[in-house]
Each structure stands twice: as C-alpha cells, then as structure tokens.
Amino acid sequence: MIKYAASSLMVRLLLHLPRAPPTYRPLLLPLHPARLRAAASASFPLAAMSTTAQAVADEKRAVRSEVRRALKALSPDQRASEDLAIQSNILNSSWFKASKRLCAYISCAQLREVDTSKILAEVLSQNSEHDGQAKDIYVPRVEDKNRNMRMFKITTMDDLVKNSMNILEPSPLDASGNAREDVLSASSPIDLFLLPGQAFDRTGRRLGRGGGYYDTFLMRYQELAKENGWSQPLLDCVGVGVRVGPKWAVLKQKDQSEIMMRERYRPSGATRGELQLSIQATLAYPVLVALSYSVQILEEGVIPVNSTDVPIDALVTSSGVIPISPAALERLRS
C-alpha cells in the first residue's frame, strides 16, 4: 500500500510540473501572450501555421469591433474637439512646418477617421501663395481589391473626385489630361507620412481596417527607398545587442559605432540582457505618424500583429505627440 501510494503521489506531482517553454520562431514584433503558444516552432505543419494566421485574423476582427463601438459612442462635440486639437498639434509643430514632401490620407467621416481637412487646406493654400512654405503632398487612391494603392500628387482640392464609396480620391489624370505624379515614381523621398488606422498603442503597433492597403504600400515604399539609396529602410543586422527597453536594443555595427533600433523579432536564449538579435530597422524616410482619437489608443499587447504589419514611429492625439521610435524622438521634438 505504501509503495502504491508513493507511486500515485509521484504521478500526480509529475502531471502538475510546469511544461518546458516552447521554442519561438522569429515574429515581427512581440505578440499578445494569448498567441505565443500557437505561434511557436517553425517545425509546425502548414495546417498549424494556417490555424495561427486565422487566430490572428479573428483577434484583429474582435479588436476592430470593440474600437468601432468606442468610436461610435464618441459624441459629436468630443469628436470635433479632438479633431481640432489633433490638427492644431500637427500644424503648429516645427517638424510639420519643416517638412517638404509628405503623404497624407483624406479623412472620411463615415469611417470615423480623424479629420485632416484643415491640414490639407493649409498645405494647399501655402502652395498657392508661393511663400516659401510650399510642400509636395500626395494622397491615396485605391486601385483594386488586391491591396494596391497609389499616392498621387495634388495641388488643389479640385483634384479630388468621389469614388464608388463616396470617398474623395485623386484622379490619375489632371485637368489637362496629363498623368499625375505618383510618389513611387518620384525622384526624391518623402519625409512625413500621416496615417489613419483603427487602433494603436504606445509601442508602435497599428491596426488598420483589414484591407492591408497601407501596410502593402509602405513596404513597397521602403523597397523603393532602399533601391534609391535614400536610406536603409530594411537594414538587416545580426549581432549581439543589449536591450535598453521592451521594444528597443542597441546594436554595435561593424565599424564599432552603436545604433538604437526597434527589435522586430522575438529573441531566444537571452541571458543577462545580451541578446542574439535579428533586427530590421526603418530609418530616415519617412517618419510614419498616425492620427488617433483617445479611444483608439489601446494597452500594450492588446493589438495582434503579424509579419505584414508595419509599425508607426509616432502618434498624434488631442493631448499632443507621442514619439515612439528613435527617428521620432529625434525629429518630432516640437
């Protein structure tokens, strides 16, 4: 009896021992803890990987639904107040005034996006006055349902027409029948990108509306910047770095200089703060700035992400600017 009882006790203890942690494969940005188990191990069969992707998509839909309800609950007065404050924070900033070439979205009231009408009006009026503050501005046009979006240069609000969804977009041709300048065909880089979105957090995560248009466009633009040598937007570095925060690390380059970069991949085997890092950094052009209502800013870890989600550099809210990346900390000082 004693031997049997001891054996039974041993079995029960073994059943309650903690399981060995799984080995995580690299993922773009740290994931919500609820998904780490499902995202583990590159040796998973394709079916399991597909299940993980579906789980991420389901979580994104759930978050979008919650944020839509919060946006709908905003009173017209609160929305108008935040719209005015956000646009004023941008227009009055030195970094916006110093920008020469930017991409910006045209806000849609039906989608409950932060208003950009004052920003567009200010830029276009400066261009017409030729007072030395002129900026090149490019705005989006959706080409199809396959995530293809272009950014065309406009010089007046008359360059915009309503699409089938009643959203203003630039026509591909100007009034003279000439093709408008496409930012992906431009000879110079843009320095600022004003982004919409459904939800954000203070670590740089952005959740769009599900179409994937902005993420796809931004990745294409990064490739263009890399090809033209405007910056090194997809600089791949592998080395020993020291974590300086939950999302940032310092990496020593071959020339022994040190750079601070966003840690895009989940490290493994980290000991005493030293990490074998695979780092992908976005530098210099453009700074990605999202405009956000207060109810769209969520706690860290709530927004699910995957490998196609491009992080933002900064948030602008009614309360001010929230710089996130080193580029934003350097360039969006006021």
* Mean pLDDT on 125-149: 83
The amino acid at residue 37 is: R
Distance of CA 329 to the CA centre of its chain: 16
Q: What is the model's pLDDT at position 93?
A: 95
pLDDT level of residue 334 (50, 70, 90 thresholds): low
Q: What is the model's pLDDT at position 267?
A: 40
**pLDDT at residue 270 is higher than 90:** no
Mean residue pLDDT across the chain: 76
Interacting residues of 303 by C-beta distance below 8 A, sequence separation 6+: 32, 63, 199, 200, 201, 205, 206, 207
pLDDT level of residue 128 (50, 70, 90 thresholds): low
Task: Say if pTM beats, i.e. exceeds, 0.95.
Answer: no
**pLDDT at residue 172 is higher than 50:** yes
Q: pLDDT tens digits, residue range 36-72?
A: 333 333 334 545 546 788 888 999 999 999 999 999 9
* Mean pLDDT on 133-147: 89
Q: What is the model's pLDDT at position 252?
A: 53
**pLDDT at residue 1 is higher than 50:** no
* Mean pLDDT on 107-131: 88
Between these two residues, 215 and 222, which has the higher pLDDT value? 215
Structure tokens at 2: 């004693």
Q: What is the model's pLDDT at position 233?
A: 35
**pLDDT at residue 185 is higher than 80:** yes
* Mean pLDDT on 313-325: 95
**How many percent of the chain have pLDDT more than 90?**
48
For residue 116, which of 107, 108, 103 has the smallest C-alpha distance?
Answer: 107
The amino acid at residue 48 is: A
* Mean pLDDT on 267-279: 41
